[in-house]
Amino acid sequence: MLLGPPGAGKGTQAARLARPWHIPHISTGAMLREAVHSGTPLGLEVKAIIERGGLIDDGVITQVVRARLERPDAAAGFLLDGFPRTVPQGRALDEFLTDRAPLTVVEIALSETEILRRLAARMICSECGVNSQDDRDYANCIDCGGQLVPRVDDAEEVVRRRIEVYHQQTAPLVGYYEARPTYCRVEGSQLADQVTQEILKAVAQVRST
């Protein structure tokens, strides 16, 4: 599981790590963007919450994630990006995983100044919803070739609200997890390649203890 503030690069790192580990990258953000794109009543509700920088109801997200973790491709492992976002969600996840191997938690740390700098320039694919990589300059999505556009939830006033929400509701997860032997922390202000290498080393170390 990847933990960190908006703009820390969780999605980028999850996509990179899932391949060598041969496990599915389970992104609640991507699931929610699909709902928004669908234009259903739930999608419209999700869109309004995202645009004002809020968090989706614990019950809704928990049901979505639980169903996803029960699919066959997640039986041997999975990489969570965007869940849990609150301590109650973390407790619910622990309940799901009672009969599975201990959850490895990676915190990607990033300062507020760096968050604002990154998100001001971040782009997202208009077709598949994948974020452009923070330290590379592309005109189009490297996955599907779609046009890159600014994210509606990266406007500065929305970002500041998202940071506030993160500190209020998600940052307490650090306290919830940090005493566990399978918790590790990496500095997220480095280039994406460096962050990937630090995560690989940190995870290998905590899983060998």
Q: What would the pLDDT profile of 148-171 be if each residue is shown by its tens digit?
A: 877 666 667 778 888 898 899 999
CB 205 within 8 A of CB 184: yes
Q: What is the pLDDT of residue 189?
A: 92
Catalytic one of 47, 68, 118, 122: 122
Q: What residues have CB less than 8 Å from 145, skipping those under 6 apart?
A: 127
pLDDT at residue 137 is higher than 70: no
Active-site residue 201, yes or no?
A: no
With beta carbons less than 8 A apart as the criterion, state whether 65 and 28 touch.
Answer: yes
Instruction: Pull the structure tokens for residue 110.
Output: 């990033």
Cα–Cα distance measured from residue 29 to residue 39, given in angstroms and rounded to the nearest whole number: 16
First to last CA, the chain: 18
Q: Give mean pLDDT, residues 99-112.
A: 93
Asked if the model's pLDDT at residue 92 lies above 80, the reply is yes
Give residue 135's pLDDT band: very low, low, confident or very high (50, 70, 90): very low
Average pLDDT, the chain: 85
- Known catalytic membership, residue 162: yes
Of the pLDDT bands very low, low, confident and very high (cuts 50, 70, 90), residue 7 is confident
Domain residues for 194?
2-208
- Residue 166, both tokens: 């993160």
Q: Evaluate if residue 72 carries a pLDDT over 70.
A: yes
Tally the domains of the chain: 1
Annotated catalytic residue 100 = no
Tokens of 155: 């406007």
Rounded Cα distance, 72 and 181, in Å? 28
115 vs 200, more confident:
200
Is residue 10 annotated as a catalytic residue, yes or no? Answer: yes
Given the residues 10, 16, 68, 118, the one annotated as active site? 10
Catalytic residue among 47, 85, 91, 160: 85
Entry pTM: 0.76
Report the CATH number that the domain containing residue 151 is assigned in CATH: 3.40.50.300
CB 172 within 8 A of CB 87: yes
Point out the catalytic residue in the list 68, 151, 160, 180.
Answer: 151
Q: When comparing pLDDT for 151 and 192, which is higher? A: 192
Is the bond into 102 cis (omega within 30 degrees of 0)? no
Model pLDDT, residue 152 = 66
Residue 161 designated active-site: no
* Catalytic member of 161, 162, 180, 185: 162
Residue 133 pLDDT exceeds 60: no
Cα distance between residue 53 and residue 37, in whole Å: 18
- The confidence score (pLDDT) of residue 160 equals 83
